[in-house]
Amino acid sequence: VKVYALLLAGGAGTRFWPASRVHRPKQLLALTGEQSMLLATAERVLPIAGGWSNVLVAGGRHLEAATREALPELPRENLLLEPVPRNTAPCIAWAAARIARTDPDALVMALPSDHHVRDDEAFRETVRAALASAATGVVTTIGVKPTRPETGFGYIEVAGAPPDGVATPVRRFVEKPNRAHAAAFVESGRYLWNAGMFFFRAKDLVAAVRAHLPALGAMLDRLDEAARLGDEGAALDAAFAAAPNVSLDVGVMEKLDRIAVVPGDFGWSDVGSWQAAWDLAPRDDNGNAAPASAILIDARDNLVIDLRSTPTDRTSALIGVRGMVLVLTDDAVLLLPRERAQEVRTVVEALRKAGRNLLT
């Protein structure tokens, strides 16, 4: 049976401003290594998908050029361009429907493209277990074993203590909890982090969409019909414009009677801030993550990101600086202490209010 990887590569991404922009969201950045996170995600699952022809990438139309540049080996027709952003349910359903037209039993793994995984092989083991579960006709997800009472993620509750590396039934999905609930979840040992990864047979997801999200089912009907007539592309704009703006979790997953989860432990991070980027980036003996061109004198634990396009020899010189994030682009510079990384939003908000063109 064929296995497709569907990489979700939309997103606006303001948490990594000024590196991330409307036209360069987080997955296109090389925050934690030499590669963009999108390319790293694709290469991580290539051994399972069996080659680039089975890799699909879904993203907004405005990201076409940058996405093709980031994935030079991706076949042209494998880039699914959403005319308008409509969250994850419409684009995953569209991809599943396309695959189902010719290969309804094919397995699909829908994965975020802007997460970091430390142990690729452990990740693939977990993915293989999730695909094995999906092959039985049960939509399956991966739940990351929580390491802290994080309030920024959704949780997945399982019936008992989760088994190691095999699928177990999901009891319920839980939205981002408050601190007390999060602590109780971690304490109980029955909750996993929802990392937004979904595994299914193409036909099963299409059926689930038709059953639980009829408005989206109608979109799939339109697109199937257009495809039969040989012009799916022309129908896309109207179809997406009419599609419900909803995540697959909320629109479909939470409504399914049976859904399985495979617990995973592979050094996962959603890379949610500059702080996380520093945590994950290769660092020198003084804790600095900085380009080789930098001059660091009595500098410790800093993150320097240099995306300037100007002269090939350039430098950033830091003297006596500790724990700072310094991000350089042609038109913007960000400087803040690592522990205040969340406040980047404040800057983005100020720029938006001022109508300044430093976000695109």
Q: Does 351 bind a copy of itself (CB under 8 A)?
A: yes
3-state secondary structure of 249: helix
Residue 61's CB is within 10 A of a number of other CB atoms, namely 12
Give, to the nearest 10 degrees, the angle between helix 214-228 and helix 202-212: 130
Nearer to a copy of itself, 159 or 335 (CB): 335
Choosing from 68, 180, 330, 352, the residue that interacts with a copy of itself (CB under 8 A) is: 330
- 360 binds a copy of itself, rule: CB under 8 A: no
How many residues contact a copy of itself, by CB under 8 A? 36
> Any contact of residue 319 with a copy of itself (CB under 8 A)?
yes
| 326 forms part of the interface with a copy of itself (CB under 8 A) | yes
Question: Which residue number, 68 or 356, has a Cβ lying nearer to a copy of itself?
Answer: 356
**Cβ atoms of 25 and 342 closer than 8 Å:** no
CA 244 to chain centre: 20
Site pattern 283..302 for a copy of itself (x: CB under 8 A) = ------------x-x-----
Stretch near a copy of itself under the rule CB under 8 A, chosen from 87-95, 138-146, 228-236, 308-316: 308-316
Cβ-Cβ contacts under 8 Å for 323 (sequence gap 6 or more): 300, 301, 302, 337, 338, 339
Q: Which residue shows structure tokens 């039993």?
A: 105
CA distance 210 to 66: 33
Residue 272: CB minimum distance to a copy of itself, A: 17
Our finding on whether 18 is near a copy of itself (CB under 8 A) is yes
Position 318 contacts a copy of itself (CB under 8 A): yes
Residue of 34, 230, 292, 357 interacting with a copy of itself (CB under 8 A): 357
Q: Which stretch binds a copy of itself (CB under 8 A): 48-56, 159-167, 203-211, 327-335?
A: 327-335
CB-based burial, 14-36: b 16+ in 10 Å, e otherwise: bbbbbbbbeebbbbbbbbbeeeb
* CA atoms within 13 Å, Cβ hemisphere of 286: 17
- By CB under 8 A, name the binding residues for a copy of itself: 18, 295, 297, 308, 310-311, 313-321, 324, 326, 328, 330-337, 340, 343-344, 346-347, 350-351, 356-358
